[in-house]
Structure 1
């Protein structure tokens, strides 16, 4: 049973800077789905264009994140994260200008989405390895960051909806670019003691990719979760974002979608607060049980529930997913050695998100063929089966807390 525990002190200069960097970046990222949905649908493009834009970002992220893990090991995680922020800033600026002036060609939107995905791929592996270096209690740090990210995610879509209503989608992308600059500055100001691996002689890129794969394959609980999660990403998580954006925006307007995403963020904050309090001895098992909240949201969307019930579903889903993410992140960061963590996290993210990108890309055509509501209702059943599969695999169910 999870029991309350008194963890050691958390806050220090590096953690404060990292906290601000993540909050700013997540705020900006939360604006992007609203900006794409409003900008593309407002320009007369079909809902599938939103899926292609978001799917191209996710696919590029999943394809390049393995190299991001190796490069983070070679050049240090902090340097790669700063470089990634600086890489994504010009793309956001171009989207801001082109959407402000009118409707950019779809190929420009897709190319810049791919560029943003590559930048995120260079950034993300360093997050996992940085947290254990700056936080004396990894679960508490993950929970605090999840609450902060939830609050900024809640504020981001709401702010995007307001900016779109008052100005246009370009204004939302302009703020998105500014958050990358804030993140880069905070990360550049961090001071981390060098690790022994920072100065050691490195193998070739191919050898380090192979070494990371061996580390990944040796942990059955890790590749077991990723294998199950590929099905979830293809059939549930991938289609859910663009279909929710197009369904809610089309039926209730971009402001309603922004509000629902804000409610989802509030639920994520509640899930993070719960993870601050409950420290289970079997983190992945309890995290899997929490995931049962996600089918509730999918069912409400698929059944065409009124906005009030959709808000309740978004809150439950946000809390459930946030608690799972804290348990999962803590398990990876405490069971994997620091010198392999960048690459291991990269394999984790690539396996989880590659099929999510495919799911996002295919969501528009499939929904057009069989109906958006039908896709969401099938996803409801699959989400329940995913929880059952996670609990059925013994290495996942019994993995202890460190």
Structure 2
């Protein structure tokens, strides 16, 4: 597979990300189907899926320190190898027969822990591989991942139809193994000296750099609330509402429509070069706003599909603008830690939002919850556009010593440290 416009290292990285994305897409399908085939309850499935997120949130700051302190490639390859073994063990346990629930929970928790030492390094590694083509590289990664998301669920469906659903988890293990092999073959420049990091001091340094940039912490703070009141409820209710209304098959096609939109959004981000990427990205993200409301109405599937495509495109375009801005403006030596704080803020409240969705829908109604999600997204985006540091953040870092409303100069940061 050749990715146009990228050299060997970035190309291997993009393919590795695509393989990991395909595994991430099919794993929940395979796990749920395999556990239900083995007579586990829906509650058991939810417990296992939710359990894997806890170590990610708890350990990601330490993963950020490790990935900043050492060459990020090595911890990422080790994390992929560990997840290869864990997914292989989980697949074997499920193929052998119904295991006790704890034997499923342990690999899920350990896999989440491994992810915490992988994910913060993605931005760092891409920045090293393509420092002069960050926007194009992020857009390429997002587009390729979205293309994979279109076909991976269909492949999982075929595997489940012809064999045991646990075989899908074995395929997921293969994607981690392939990702580890591809990443191991990438050459990076020499990293920092591999001495033992001082975790608490480096965590404080990363937190200082994170909070010193108003554009960064304000966006993450708002998106933390989005996880609680927008994306958490939407993730749950879109499946419940659309499957009930159109059936599981039509729902799968609608999700593919969202992935198709993400492909279009990634391609648009590949061609566009806005001078104020966060402002443009937030204005584009408003295209996601109608989607929860559209789902709440009893509309034909074709109209829902249009909203899905538009929402997927808006979400993907914003994701590229945000990732590129973080990679361009965050200091290289703390990028993994900043990415870790970003991810924790973004996903930290999402499980709470998912857990409370059922009770909220039962109390005020599903349509009201979805409408509130749309309103919250609109209000949050408009609020961020009123923040000068967000609205005026330039597409490229200013020269050293130049002042900007987007972030303090290095002298100001040094004075604050003193």
TM over 0.5, shorter chain = yes
Tell me what 2:295 maps to. Answer: 301
Contact 1:56-1:357 within 8 A present in 2 as well: no
Tell me what 1:354 maps to. Answer: 348
Following the alignment from structure 1 to structure 2, what is the Cα–Cα distance between the partners of residues 372 and 108?
Answer: 36
Runs of at least 5 residues in structure 1 that lack an aligned partner in the other structure:
1-8
Q: Secondary structure at the match of 1:322?
A: helix
Tell me what 2:285 maps to. Answer: 291
Tell me what 1:138 maps to. Answer: 134
Q: Greater helix percent: which structure? A: 1
Following the alignment from structure 1 to structure 2, what is the Cα–Cα distance between the partners of residues 246 and 103?
Answer: 27
Tell me what 1:190 maps to. Answer: 186
Q: How high is the TM-score relative to the length of structure 2?
A: 0.85
Runs of at least 5 residues in structure 2 that lack an aligned partner in the other structure:
397-418
Tell me what 1:88 maps to. Answer: 83
Is 1:28–2:53 an aligned residue pair? no
Following the alignment from structure 1 to structure 2, what is the Cα–Cα distance between the partners of residues 305 and 95?
Answer: 41
State the Cα deviation string for residues 27-84 of structure 1 (Å, max 9, x = none): 1111133334544566676666555444333333222211110111233211111111
Match of 2:11 among 16, 33, 37: 16
Is 1:379–2:373 an aligned residue pair? yes
CA-atom RMSD, angstroms? 2.5
Aligned residue pair count: 392
State the Cα deviation string for residues 166-199 of structure 1 (Å, max 9, x = none): 434312212111100100000011111113xx12
Following the alignment from structure 2 to structure 1, what is the Cα–Cα distance between the partners of residues 168 and 246?
Answer: 20
Tell me what 1:310 maps to. Answer: 304
Q: Secondary structure at the match of 1:76?
A: coil
Following the alignment from structure 2 to structure 1, what is the Cα–Cα distance between the partners of residues 380 and 98?
Answer: 40
State the Cα deviation string for residues 104-152 of structure 1 (Å, max 9, x = none): 5555444433333222211111111111111131101101111101111
Residues 352 and 207 of structure 1, relative CA distance in 2, 3 Å threshold:
same
Shift in Å, 1:245: 3.7
Larger C-alpha radius of gyration, 1 or 2?
2
Deviates more, 1:89-98 or 1:347-356: 89-98
Q: How high is the TM-score relative to the length of structure 1?
A: 0.89
Residues 54 and 90 of structure 1, relative CA distance in 2, 3 Å threshold:
same
Following the alignment from structure 1 to structure 2, what is the Cα–Cα distance between the partners of residues 329 and 123?
Answer: 16
Residues 359 and 44 of structure 1, relative CA distance in 2, 3 Å threshold:
farther
Contact 2:224-2:349 within 8 A present in 1 as well: yes
Match of 1:337 among 324, 328, 331: 331
State the Cα deviation string for residues 304-349 of structure 1 (Å, max 9, x = none): 4443333222211111110001000010000012111111111111
Residues 37 and 370 of structure 1, relative CA distance in 2, 3 Å threshold:
farther
Alignment of 1:98-177 (within 5 A): 98-100=93-95, 106-135=101-130, 136-177=132-173
Shift in Å, 1:353: 1.1
